[in-house]
Amino acid sequence: MGELASAIGARVEEAAIVAELKAGSEEAYAWLIGEFQRPVYGLVYRMVSDPADAADTTQDVFLKVFRGMKQFHGESSLKTWIYRIALHEAANRKRWWFRHKAQETSIEPADADGFGGQDEAMRNAMTDQRDSPFESVAHREVQQRVDGELRKVAEPYRTALILRDLEEMSYEEIAEVLQISLGTVKSRLTRGRQALKQRLAPYVREVGGELGLSLLEEEASLRVRVAGGGRRVEVMP
Q: What is the pLDDT of residues 112-168, one digit of tens each?
A: 334 344 444 444 443 344 444 455 555 677 778 888 888 899 999 999 999 998 888
What distance separates the 2 farthest-apart alpha carbons in the chain? Answer: 59
DSSP classification of residue 44 = H
Claim: this prediction has a pTM higher than 0.75 = no
Tell me the domains of the chain and their CATH numbers.
1-101 (1.10.1740.10)
Residue 113: the pLDDT is: 39
Distance CA 196, CA 57 (A): 26
Per-residue DSSP letter, 233: E
Q: What is the pLDDT of residue 172?
A: 93
The segments of the chain whose pLDDT lies below 70 read 1-10, 96-139, 208-237
